[in-house]
Structure 1
Amino acid sequence: MTYHPKSEFIRVMIERGFMADCTDLQSLDDILADGVVPAYIGFDATAKSLHVGSLIQIMMLRWLQKTGHKPITLMGGGTTKVGDPSFRSDERPLLTPAQIEANIAGIRRVFSAYVTYDGSATGALMIDNAEWLDGLNYLSFLRDIGRHFSVNRMLSFESVKSRIDREQSLSFLEFNYMILQAYDFLELNRRYGCRLQMGGSDQWGNIVNGIDLTRRVLDREVFGLTSPLLTTSDGKKMGKSLSGAVWLDGDMLSPYEFWQFWRNTTDADVGRFLKLYTELPVEECDRLGALEGSEINEAKIRLANQVTALLHGAEAAQAAEATAREVFEKGGVGEDLPTLELTQGEVAGGISIVQLITRSGLAKSGKEAKRLIADGGARLDDAPLTDAGLMLDAAALSSPIKLSAGRKRHALVTLAP
């Protein structure tokens, strides 16, 4: 039976592929149709930026605001001190309070590209759970909150069970994480009237815990909604590229490299990604996703432009496309390519091509760079590179050189005056 939503938000979630599970879809739909609903997603501050793997959740918050509701971006200044064990094989490294604070500052910049923080009824809120977690009294917390949790039930959650089944250690510190996340929902409801928690489907157990705790302690009905855990059509985890994480912060990954990640989308993923990561009408996403042959490449450029414009602005998207066309179609040297600038001192005695490939980010190590050359995947100014022992001096670098790894990844090397 097909469900026909009353609220625009639930309709968007279902039509565009954001919906995996919901605790009570009909009741949630009713309250969303009835007025402004505050809803949150939590983000732990484990790095100075979020990466593409978090973008599906960020887009859910964006759609929430666009359809007339109030997004809450909850920063895990408190929970990051513990670390989420969900579906991890090992314990997260612990960060210092200073590192966490610096990470939160970086993540704030990313969010402001997607949601509007202001004092209006639907203005987004950014809240740090350290606000209530840092000052907790342990004994009071155990007595008032801990008594509502069954250890038997906690052990049955897939995120915990998978660790235990593999006989991998799960520290008591990590085991507390789900209690703290449940407590977040209770406090957000108590302080800000939050009625809905959203997240990836790996957070289902944590979300259900929060709903149950809020009902027991405050006698209030709240809801949970999860999105599918996204993998690409070839089974890879979303958010990773050959050269590492695809960061949303322009200082950690240039707009050109971000654009290029989306341009390199597999044909089978284009239609689905257009629905999830752009605001193009669903019919247009389906039309573009159904294109074949060389036409699908124009759909990929449309995808790259739309996603890059949302994060970095329309000008950055246009510049990235112009650079790509210059590099791929004309064989030229685009101004926006990632650039390695060398000093005169660094090249005084010559510098190896292997070092240049590694330092420009086209390979993670010298060994990988040598393998790239041996396999015929490296080029220097569009000519195949065959000599891993090649040395370049200042004269060779008097004008910029272009290095390439495969057909789609490029970098410039320049020499400072």
Structure 2
Amino acid sequence: MTYRPRSDFLNVMVARGYLADCTDLEGLDTALLAGVVPAYIGYDATAKSLHVGHLLNIMMLRWYQKTGHKPITLMGGGTTKVGDPSFRSEERPLLDDAAIQANIDGMRRVFAKYLAYGDGATDARMMNNAEWLDDLNYLAFLRDIGRHFSVNRMLSFESVKSRLDRDQSLSFLEFNYMILQAYDFLELNRRHGCLLQMGGSDQWGNIVNGIDLTRRVSGTEIFGLTSPLLATSDGRKMGKSAGGAIWLNGDMLSPYEFWQFWRNTTDADVGRFLKLYTELPVEECDRLGSLGGSEINEAKVVLANAVTTLCHRAEAAEAAEATARAVFAEGGVGEALEVVTLPASALGAGIANTHLLVSTGLVKSGKEAKRLIGEKGLRLNNELVSDPNGIVTAETIGDGLKVSIGKKRHALVRVEG
């Protein structure tokens, strides 16, 4: 990068590794220095929580507010009814209004952990694009907005082209999505003076569409900024684990499991993740990330504590660390350990170890359970289990049976009723 930003926000973006591309870095920098600039990121309401894959952009909004500007979280109450086709192989399932609103309510709880909402100049604002999309006059929209879009250009965007190249269906409904998202930027600029849209680099085409539309309709100069699409150093998509999505709402994923996700970060990712997902000084992130041997494990604890504190508060991070130390170092059972409750009827007079693992959901099949036990990967109350047909009873479980799969997955099984 030849241009050196002067604004606090862009300096943070560059120093911490958030910046992938910007439509006009110098122009945006000048606007940020001139006063408070509203900026937004859009989120379609497709689930009741955001997950770790969204966290990088949430942290960008947090830094945006911390450096003196106004973040807008735009909820896609309208666009969720269409679905973003970007880099998807098939159309999203369509949700009704009640499901969309329930998802927005769940996502709102996540944003409130990271952003200060209110009516002040730099307070965050949550908006819903259903406000202007639900009552659009279709013919007027085609005439006033649709005429600014070239179908030839829309077909050239990689998110669309990749679907067509694979002979995968792209519905007319989905094809409209990029026009609606561009219209969001125009409306936010008209209504609230929004000058910047941010998003992942897969949203570049949609962002550029919004900038071009706004320039054509109102002549206003606005900007786009994208973050890199992250994968872990071992190639996994950020936000996914063997057990599924790493949700940011505690009722969908326990703080302990969330903490463990970060504690299990690969050595090569520690420094990078500290810069992206915590607020520790860059120099300290680099120092921790450069540690080797057993010392890198303590850096991972620092990472897990810092990220969990932001998402679930310090008390949850402290409880998770205490539980992890009890489980790993002392062989005990911590209070924050994942708890799996089985009905007494599922146990009957007793069930085999393989059936226990399947019943708790810790493995998906009896075959997988047998393999795990055969490879000496199962411990019950810290005792190695070698017999897949060994019987577990309600009496064996008692007040709680600690189940350990390998060195990293632990749960406490209890009997209900």
TM exceeds 0.5? yes
CA–CA separation in structure 2 for the residues paired with 1:92 and 1:257: 28
State the secondary structure of the residue aligned to 1:221. Answer: coil
* Equivalent AA in structure 2 for residue 31 of structure 1: A
- Matching residue's letter, 2:13: M
- Partner residue of 1:314? 314
Q: d(CA) in 2 for partners of 1:2 and 1:332?
A: 54
Could you tell me which amino acid in structure 2 is paired with residue 357 of structure 1?
L
Tell me by how many angstroms 1:41 deviates.
Answer: 0.3
| Deviation (angstroms), 1:344 | 3.1
Provide the alpha-carbon RMSD of the alignment.
Answer: 1.3
Does 1:399 find its partner at 2:392? no
Kept after mapping to 1: 8 A contact 2:342/2:360: no
**For residues 16-415 of structure 1, what are the structure 2 equivalents within 5 Å?**
16-415=16-415
Task: Indicate conservation of the 8 Å contact 1:350/1:393, yes or no.
Answer: yes
Give the Cα separation in 1 of the matches to 2:375 and 2:146: 58
Deviation per residue, 1:361-416 (Å, 9 max, x gap): 42244443333333332222222333333332121122311111221110001124
Q: Is the 8 A contact 2:246 2:258 kept in 1?
A: yes
- Counterpart Cα distance in 2 of 1:94 and 1:375: 44
C-alpha distance in structure 2 between counterparts of 1:337 and 1:99, whole Å: 31
Give the drift of 1:5.
1.2
Distance 1:296 1:366 in 2: 36
The alignment partner of 1:118 has SS state of: coil
CA displacement, residues 212-232 of structure 1 (integer Å, 9 cap, x when unaligned): 011111111110000000000
Rounded Cα–Cα distance in structure 1 between residues aligned with 2:274 and 2:406:
26
Check 1:365–1:123 CA distance in 2 against 1; reply closer, same or farther (3 A cut). farther
1:289 Cα deviation from its structure 2 partner = 0.2
Verify the 8 A CA contact 1:338 1:360 in the aligned structure 2.
no
Distance across 2 between alignment mates of 1:127 and 1:366: 48
DSSP 3-state at the match of 1:395: helix
The TM-score with structure 1 as length reference comes to: 0.97
State the secondary structure of the residue aligned to 2:126. Answer: strand
Which secondary structure does the structure 1 equivalent of 2:170 belong to? Answer: coil
Per-residue CA deviation, residues 330-375 of structure 1 (Å, 9 max, x unaligned), is: 0111111111123333323323433432343422444433333333
Structure 1, unaligned runs of 5 or more: none
- State the identity as a percent: 72
Name the SS for the 1:357 alignment partner: helix
Any conservation in 2 of the 1:243–1:363 contact (CA below 8 Å)? Answer: no
SS at match of 1:112: helix
Contact 2:3 2:26 in 1 (8 A): no
Q: CA contact under 8 A between 2:62 and 2:114: conserved in structure 1?
A: yes
- Which SS does the other structure have where 2:113 is aligned? coil
Assess if the C-alpha contact under 8 Å between 1:38 and 1:193 holds in 2: yes
Is the CA contact (8 Å cut-off) linking 1:360 and 1:411 kept in structure 2? no
Q: How many Å separate the matches in 1 of 2:97 and 2:369?
A: 37
* TM-score, L = length of structure 2: 0.97
Task: Report the Cα distance in structure 2 between the residues aligned to 1:85 and 1:331, rounded to whole angstroms.
Answer: 48
Q: After alignment, is 34-43 or 163-172 more displaced?
A: 163-172
Distance in 2 between residues matched to 1:123 and 1:355, nearest whole Å: 52
Q: Report which stretch shifted further, 119-128 or 344-353.
A: 344-353
The alignment covers a number of residue pairs equal to 417
SS at match of 2:198: strand
Amino acid at match of 1:195: L
Q: Quick check: 1:362–1:410 contact (8 Å CA) kept in 2?
A: no
